[in-house]
């Protein structure tokens, strides 16, 4: 067996998932990791490269990775179709082109569980659950388009579909909820008597599973859904987090139908007015918060074992990190 370290290139290395993965790989014996990120950072091992264009920089070609974990994406719930096409489809095509020019390394494509979503409750989603032809938004559509490109890659590939990643370092999921609650703009959405149930995945659990997908032999051609395997009632769990952060919990529920109408109106205003940023509520967010989405992750547990961090521990660590960040910014 070769004693050479496994060379791993992580795209999206300045983002939440890619950054956490790169930090973990740097601490792992037998691995040599570098990154590509959209933002320029003071780190010589992270190149600032726009993946929406063909990769011509020598940084990646000289490194010649054994594995590329493609975590870069436009993960927002809002944006133009052209933005999603460029950042999720064109970027994936350019990463695959880079891989073809650097010896066909294994590709681990970080897709999304949203490729399965329908405007309805869904339970026990498996890897065999049908995908498309309709999608809840352009993010889901373009992440699946990326999957189809990866399936045509002549080297080894693994497609990972995480669900609702959270934890320290998250810049989207929990921070949005906390900011809305602090401003008094967060209602509960759905049915108070029967709140929606959903799976989540803690960042450390996801990183461990992505490392296994990158290094474990015999996984080529695998698609795998990734969650913590412990579905939670979504709105009560949000209420618990807010209470532990001493933030005001919502006192009113808005029905799913009403929320969808409000979200559609907000989206129309934003599009017609060409307003910056995201609408305060989108239809995609309503379906995420007010419809149940659970997954059968027996395949992931067979391949990677049980999640490395329980949901209780994950929530406690996340709450502690949010508290610490709040103290640091005072």
Q: Averaged in consecutive runs of 10 residues, what is the pLDDT profile of the chain (330 residues)?
A: 81 96 95 92 90 81 90 90 96 96 96 96 97 95 98 98 93 79 79 89 97 95 97 91 85 86 94 88 89 96 95 93 69
Per-residue model confidence as pLDDT tens digits over 180-203: 777 777 778 888 778 899 999 999
The reported pLDDT for the residue numbered 261 is 95
The reported pLDDT for the residue numbered 61 is 67
The reported pLDDT for the residue numbered 326 is 63
The reported pLDDT for the residue numbered 223 is 98
Spell out the domains of the chain, with CATH numbers in brackets: 6-324 (3.40.50.720)
Answer for the pair 21, 10: CB distance below 8 angstroms, yes or no: yes
Is 139 part of the annotated catalytic residue set?
A: yes
Answer for the pair 318, 209: CB distance below 8 angstroms, yes or no: no
Answer for the pair 25, 33: CB distance below 8 angstroms, yes or no: yes
Instruction: Single out the residue of 198, 181, 200, 160 nearest to residue 318, CA to CA.
Output: 200
The reported pLDDT for the residue numbered 249 is 76
Per-residue model confidence as pLDDT tens digits over 53-107: 998 867 666 789 999 999 999 988 888 999 999 999 999 999 999 999 999 999 9
The reported pLDDT for the residue numbered 1 is 40
The active-site residue out of 135, 139, 253, 284 is 139
Separation between Cα atoms, residue 270 and residue 31, nearest integer Å: 45
Cite the DSSP H helix spans in 152-244.
173-182, 203-215, 234-244
b/e per residue 203-242 (b: at least 16 CB within 10 A): bbbbbbbbbbbbbeeebeebbbbbbbbebbbbbebbbebb
The reported pLDDT for the residue numbered 160 is 98
The reported pLDDT for the residue numbered 329 is 53
Six-digit token string for 163 = 């669900």
The reported pLDDT for the residue numbered 301 is 96
């Amino acid at each position: 067996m070769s004693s050479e370290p496994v060379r791993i290139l992580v795209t999206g290395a300045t983002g939440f998932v890619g950054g956490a993965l790169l930090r973990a790989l740097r601490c792992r014996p037998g691995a040599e990791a570098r990154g590509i990120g959209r933002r320029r950072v003071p780190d010589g091992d992270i190149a600032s490269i726009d993946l929406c264009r063909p990769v011509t920089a020598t940084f990646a070609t000289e490194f010649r990775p054994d594995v590329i974990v493609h975590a870069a994406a436009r993960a927002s719930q809002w944006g133009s179709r052209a933005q999603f096409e460029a950042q999720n489809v064109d970027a994936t095509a350019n990463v695959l082109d880079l891989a073809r020019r650097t010896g066909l390394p294994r590709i681990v494509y970080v897709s999304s569980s949203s490729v399965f979503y329908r405007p309805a409750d869904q339970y026990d989603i498996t890897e065999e659950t049908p995908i498309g032809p309709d999608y809840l938004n352009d993010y889901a559509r373009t992440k699946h388009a990326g999957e189809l490109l990866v399936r045509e890659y002549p080297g080894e590939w693994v497609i990972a579909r995480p669900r609702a990643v959270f934890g320290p370092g998250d810049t989207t999921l929990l921070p949005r909820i906390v900011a809305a609650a602090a401003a008094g703009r967060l209602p509960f959405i759905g049915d108070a008597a029967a709140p929606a149930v959903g799976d989540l995945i803690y960042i450390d659990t996801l990183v461990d599973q992505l490392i296994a997908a990158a290094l474990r032999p015999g996984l080529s051609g695998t698609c795998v859904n990734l969650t913590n395997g412990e579905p939670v009632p979504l709105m009560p769990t949000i209420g618990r987090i807010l209470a532990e952060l001493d933030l005001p919990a919502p006192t009113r529920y808005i029905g799913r139908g009403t929320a969808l109408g409000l979200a559609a109106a907000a989206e129309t205003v934003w599009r017609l007015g060409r307003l910056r940023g995201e609408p305060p509520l989108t239809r995609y967010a309503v379906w995420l918060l007010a419809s149940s989405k659970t997954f059968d992750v027996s395949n992931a547990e067979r391949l990677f074992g049980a999640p490395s961090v329980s949901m209780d521990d994950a929530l406690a660590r996340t709450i502690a990190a949010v508290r610490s960040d709040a103290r640091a910014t005072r």
